[in-house]
Structure 1
Amino acid sequence: MSVHEVFYKLYDNIFIETNLQNTDYDAVVFILYPDELGVNLPRHIGSFVDKAAKIDKHINNSVTVWNCDYVSGGRLIISPIGKVTPYHDVSVVKKAAQKGVVRALDAGAKSPLIVVQSVVHFPDAQLVCVMGALEALYSPLQMRERVAPNNFTKIGFHAEEQLSEGFERIVRNAIAMERARIIARDIGGSDPERMAPANIVEYIKNSFAGESNITINVIDDEKLIAKEYPLLAAVNRAASRVDRHKARVVEIEYKPSDLSRVTETLILVGKGVTYDTGGADIKISGRMAGMARDKCGAAVVAGFLKACSILKPPHLKVTGVLCLCRNSVGSDSYVADELLVSRSGKTVRVTNTDAEGRLAMADALFKMADSASKELNPHIYTIATLTGHARACYGNNVAAMDNHSARATNHSGKLQFSGSRVAEGIEVSIVRQEDLAVNVGKCKGDDLVQYDTDAKARNHQLAAGFLIKIGGLDDKNLKYTHLDIAGAAGEAPHEPSAVPVVSLCHLHKVFM
């Protein structure tokens, strides 16, 4: 077993339990729904909750712990979702499950049992509840490598007093999603040295070892990267003096056992800047802290491929490209005013070295767009912590932007719907003609500018416009969606969210 899985075996100590009084558990976590949602209380604890509400009205507002003889371990943790308005979504269930499990562990429980009820108002509430509980158990990779965590022994999920095939499928899907999100959190959240490009490669190889439906190709030769990924090579120049910081391009491919059943091809290109100093346009005023999470786009791509390797969707063929580099500062830094020639042959004038993410992905995007026409029903994504503007506009949600072909199918709208079902926030943002035009070169010999420094608005849309133009996706009939996850990646002290791994899996029917 690889080191990233050592803190718990996702099947060996996770159970579906039909008996709320089973003595194998030392606490029961109960999600309390408001009366207007019409969720029935389990018969073992219904009367107790009614009495508790008369003792402490706060059971509807905050997590409370009770001595209860009617449940396993004699300890009942009541975690309310609170008032639900038309503006709330299923994320209230996820938060309640997380808080309930955390409170159970803080109370000394090692083997909590979670009550997972069906909620008509939220069709995927059971899946979200299980995922929320599992997420609460996560320990960061670098903690796990120092000391084997012992925060819990086992966890159980109770839906009803008889085993059902439907609930078993929900739990198995949730476990697969959590295994995928662990990879995304480990890569995205670990520090710049633990997840330097060379170490990410090693981690990826270990994570997918033994997977018969996965192939991995690593491009690490400097000359080859300079030739085939010249914009990535420019970003990487200052870092290339340190071997572990050198750029790598990792291609992970998933193929089902029967290719004749494939109906859709997905291509995901992820920004994997393991640390972003800003380069020659160096970040100041403390804004460099947190830049280890500039690799969360690549982390999401790896997580999605992991979900595919576990659940083996027969209708998908998937290629993920991790564009790994470090935007360092030094005597060989790339600088503003340089004129770079991209893989596409278009020249790009550098205007701000802190806008490195679009350059890191550009050549891989062009390569994938060039080959996508040979695939069946292709859809290309770029996934990146690309702009602070996306966070300013949409907070902790993902900004989803379609090119003309994807927009014709309302693709981002469908992704937004999937996100609403699985507690991941997606906001649809429209790429307009001016977002492409603003990237056109201003000087003789410039085909494109890396970033228009005079732009006062629409910064996340114009970044998508740059990627559309550099990828040759402005006039091709290829579906392309750019996901700016700058806000959704999460900030310390919170762990990376791994959003939008589950939304992508829901939309593309990785799990059913």
Structure 2
Amino acid sequence: MAFPQVEVFEDYRAAAGADFDAVIVLGDFDAELPADFADFIEQAQQFDQRVGKQALLVTCDVAGGRLITSPTGPLTRDYADVRTIADAAAAAAKIAVQAGVKQPLLVTFGIPSEGRYGQAEAVAYWGLCQALYEPLEAREFHGEEAIEPLTKVGVIGALDEQWLQAVEAGKRVARDLAGTEPERMAPPRFAEYCQQAFAHSPVKVTVIDDIQQLHHEYPLLMAVGRASLGVERHWPCVIRLEYKAPAAEQTLMFAGKGIVYDTGGADLKVGGHMAGMSRDKGGAAGVAGFLKTVAEMRPETVNVIAELGVVRNSIGAEAFVSDEIITGHSGVRVRIGNTDAEGRLVLADLLSHLRVEAGKYPRPQLFSVATLTGHAALAKGPYSAFVPNGPAVSQGTANRLLEAGEVYGDPGEISWSRREDYDFVRPRTKSDDVLSSNNGPSATTKRGHQFPMAFLAIAAGLDGHGNDSEHPLPYVHVDIAGSGVEGGDWQHGKPTATPVACFSGCYLHR
């Protein structure tokens, strides 16, 4: 797993003796220029008015003779955020690769001393790595060194090298799992990747792939996977990842949606809408990525337990269909409204398992992470949607994620769970306890990304753990359908590795 290793320096002079072959300078070039490079930049601007207006390479007397200037524009505006710095780093990274640079030094300047920019240098490094990332299939075919030539990045700032690299390691796992095509990352191979990623680490990996056990313990998940059983390489599995802290004070429990390919099932996706559905495993990928960062950081006081439901929603004679009533792990009877709303079925069984064992751990907090609804992408654009239950609201869980996302360049927005959402999924007869969905697209359904959280709460048995119960359980549903890939392009866009940085910043960084 080769990504540019980071080396941190207090200032430019401290890095002068290192073997860097270019300097990347990021900031607002209309403000005060950095003293170490001001003369070079001003001289270059005399010959080229584009310097400081767009990302460019100029030759001058710096490391490697190459100075790459990449402007952020003003950072003090009300709507500005740290992602601008990541964008500037990404633009510079592309020029660096084209120029044959192997080991650049990354310098930021003029960053406002505001909380929202508290991790600016780290976000710059992660933005550079995001731009450099190449898909797993490409690396396996061409070789990593051939298509990812940068080997080291120097960063100026008061930073923790382990932290920077731990988050990037998690991001790479998330990108690999989310972005890889459906055969290379079919359920058994998804599990194999996880086993390799966590080998010789403190994270325990358990793969549940016995079909009879899955039928018994994860009946909703197996309804989704039913049509895939005719092809052995597509057989579903549940991957359990466990990190036990030596002095645990709180426990994070995750359910990750890992639909390796979503045909829509019997409610088949038509009109070209199936393209990109190999990325419907982005939730499970993001959770696995966060566990990779956990494995690298080894927190002393935070347990992390995850269950990933890795399934192919295939079409065939065995496919489950609308109107079926399936009893989930929780004992709740679910009427199927639309087989293309399959991810919430997988999550419901996973969450139910986590609910049952939550009482064994200190301060449990539950999360589901999924590329769940087109409505989240429509309503939130490139932001993750956090939908908290009552205890999570009372304990400020979603607010802490919101604040961390702003600082660590992985932002989200809060959506509220309302009575209309519970009414939407109410049973219409005594034959069932909850309706999985309506039969229309979520993007054209009112509250299309909020009502699935109500379904999950009911189907997983979490509605019995609200603020009015003896054992409240904070739960936040995280919909990354809008934030999971760059530009919202689910077929070709590069996976963003959300919400690795958000959760890592919230729970691991001090």
Q: Is TM > 0.5 for Structure 1 vs Structure 2?
A: yes
Determine helix, strand or coil for the equivalent of 1:270.
strand
Q: CA deviation at 1:498?
A: 0.6
Given the alignment of the two structures, is residue 262 of structure 1 paired with residue 239 of structure 2, yes or no?
no
Determine helix, strand or coil for the equivalent of 1:453.
coil
Determine helix, strand or coil for the equivalent of 1:57.
coil
Contact between 1:384 and 1:485, CA under 8 Å: does it hold in 2? Answer: yes
Q: CA deviation at 1:21?
A: 4.8
Contact between 2:27 and 2:110, CA under 8 Å: does it hold in 1? Answer: no
1:486 counterpart (481, 485, 509)? 481
Q: CA deviation at 1:34?
A: 4.4
- Matches of 1:52 and 1:21 in 2, distance apart? 22
Given the alignment of the two structures, is residue 78 of structure 1 paired with residue 60 of structure 2, yes or no?
no
AA aligned to 1:336 is S
Determine helix, strand or coil for the equivalent of 2:176.
helix
Contact between 2:56 and 2:68, CA under 8 Å: does it hold in 1? Answer: yes
2:213 counterpart (202, 220, 224)? 224
Q: Deviations over 1:156-192 (max 9, x none)?
A: 31427xxxxx43x1x3211110100110000000000
Contact between 1:118 and 1:125, CA under 8 Å: does it hold in 2? Answer: no
Given the alignment of the two structures, is residue 89 of structure 1 paired with residue 86 of structure 2, yes or no?
no
Q: Deviations over 1:451-489 (max 9, x none)?
A: 133783001100111001112222311000000000111
Question: Residue in 1 aligned with 2:90?
Answer: 98
- Matches of 1:129 and 1:386 in 2, distance apart? 29
Given the alignment of the two structures, is residue 237 of structure 1 paired with residue 226 of structure 2, yes or no?
yes
AA aligned to 1:113 is L
Contact between 1:398 and 1:488, CA under 8 Å: does it hold in 2? Answer: yes
AA aligned to 1:183 is V
Identical counterparts, % of pairs: 36
Contact between 1:403 and 1:473, CA under 8 Å: does it hold in 2? Answer: no
AA aligned to 2:88 is A
- Matches of 1:294 and 1:417 in 2, distance apart? 26
Q: How do 1:427-506 and structure 2 match up within 5 A? A: 427-453=413-439, 456-476=445-465, 477-490=472-485, 491=489, 492-506=491-505
Q: Deviations over 1:144-167 (max 9, x none)?
A: 11121334253231427xxxxx43
Question: Residue in 1 aligned with 2:28?
Answer: 33
Contact between 1:404 and 1:474, CA under 8 Å: does it hold in 2? Answer: no
- Matches of 2:47 and 2:495 in 1, distance apart? 38
Contact between 1:116 and 1:130, CA under 8 Å: does it hold in 2? Answer: no
AA aligned to 1:290 is G
Q: How do 1:307-326 and structure 2 match up within 5 A? A: 307-326=293-312
Query: Any unmatched runs of 5+ in structure 1?
Result: 161-165
1:156 counterpart (140, 150, 153)? 153
AA aligned to 1:46 is A
Q: How do 1:92-491 and structure 2 match up within 5 A? A: 92-117=84-109, 119=111, 120-121=113-114, 122-149=117-144, 150=146, 151-159=148-156, 166-167=158-159, 169=160, 171-211=161-201, 213-256=202-245, 258=246, 261-453=247-439, 456-476=445-465, 477-490=472-485, 491=489
AA aligned to 1:181 is K
Name the stretch that deviates more: 222-231 or 365-374. 365-374
Determine helix, strand or coil for the equivalent of 1:203.
helix
Q: CA deviation at 1:108?
A: 2.2
AA aligned to 2:34 is L
Determine helix, strand or coil for the equivalent of 2:214.
helix
Determine helix, strand or coil for the equivalent of 1:331.
coil
- Matches of 2:155 and 2:453 in 1, distance apart? 44
Q: CA deviation at 1:343?
A: 1.2
AA aligned to 1:108 is G
AA aligned to 1:104 is A
Question: Residue in 1 aligned with 2:39?
Answer: 47
- Matches of 1:158 and 1:418 in 2, distance apart? 22
Aligned length: 488
Q: Deviations over 1:359-409 (max 9, x none)?
A: 011111111112112221000000000000000001111000100100112
- Matches of 1:355 and 1:289 in 2, distance apart? 17
- Matches of 1:89 and 1:263 in 2, distance apart? 32
Query: Any unmatched runs of 5+ in structure 2?
Result: 466-471
**CA gap 1:465/1:23 in 2 versus in 1, 3 angstroms:** closer
Contact between 1:117 and 1:159, CA under 8 Å: does it hold in 2? Answer: no
Contact between 1:118 and 1:126, CA under 8 Å: does it hold in 2? Answer: no
- Matches of 2:503 and 2:96 in 1, distance apart? 31
- Matches of 2:295 and 2:155 in 1, distance apart? 27
Contact between 2:125 and 2:155, CA under 8 Å: does it hold in 1? Answer: no
Q: CA deviation at 1:444?
A: 3.0
**CA gap 1:176/1:453 in 2 versus in 1, 3 angstroms:** same
Q: CA deviation at 1:42?
A: 3.8
- Matches of 2:395 and 2:203 in 1, distance apart? 29
- Matches of 1:41 and 1:494 in 2, distance apart? 35
- Matches of 1:200 and 1:47 in 2, distance apart? 52
AA aligned to 1:462 is F
Alpha-carbon RMSD across the aligned residues, in angstroms, is: 1.7
Contact between 2:130 and 2:496, CA under 8 Å: does it hold in 1? Answer: no
